[in-house]
Amino acid sequence: MVRVAMLVGEGFEDSEVEVPARCLREAGHQVVVVGASRGEMLMGKRGKQRVKVEVAAGNACPDDFDALVIPGGHGPDHLRMHSEVVEFVRGFMGTDKPVAAICHGPQLLIEADAVRGRTLTSWRSVRTDLINAGASWVDESIVIDGKLITSRKPADLDDFCVAIVNQLRV
């Protein structure tokens, strides 16, 4: 069974957690919620979703997972203030495993210094940050750069989910 770490922070975009988690589970994969503090209850920014952190990033190891998904919303901005979260992302980016980030999710990739020389997309307000961090930014629903998958917004979730599931089949 494929184990997917879903890195979630307070104020996450509700649909960007709910839809990929459902798609991954329907494909037979296990989704594990990783966050800053184990046991923490997190609320989505729209108030529709609540999730409980199952594993603290400081206790998580990329070797324990087959892929990483980073939803957007305000969560990535909160999470990038936690060094153990940034180290987990940096460690994951050093593997040859799929990493998928949507909307504001690439903020964590920037903080982990993992976008230089890569091509990504994101929510439009993250564009300049990505460019300043050395990435090429494109305005497309889905961008795949090796094992890195990025997407712009909730309206792109269908493409995002298909890309993740396809990467996990490889």
Residues known to be catalytic: 103
For domain 3-169, say whether CATH 3.10.20.740 is its number.
no
Tell me the pLDDT tens digit for each residue of 110-135: 999 999 999 999 999 999 999 999 99
- Does 53 have pLDDT greater than 70? yes
pLDDT score of 170 more than 90:
no
133 DSSP assignment: T
Q: What is the 3-state secondary structure (H, E, C) of 5-68?
A: EEECCCCECHHHHHHHHHHHHHCCCEEEEEECCCCCEEECCCCCCEEECCEEHHHCCHHHCCEE
Q: What residue type is assigned to position 109 of the chain?
A: L
Distances from the Cα of 12 to the Cα of 51, 74, 116, 137, 162, angstroms: 10, 5, 25, 22, 21
Does pLDDT of 42 surpass 90?
A: yes
The domain locations on the chain are: 3-169
7 close to 68: Cβ distance less than 8 angstroms:
yes
Percent of the chain with pLDDT over 70: 99
Residue-wise pLDDT for 15-27, tens only, equals 999 999 999 999 9
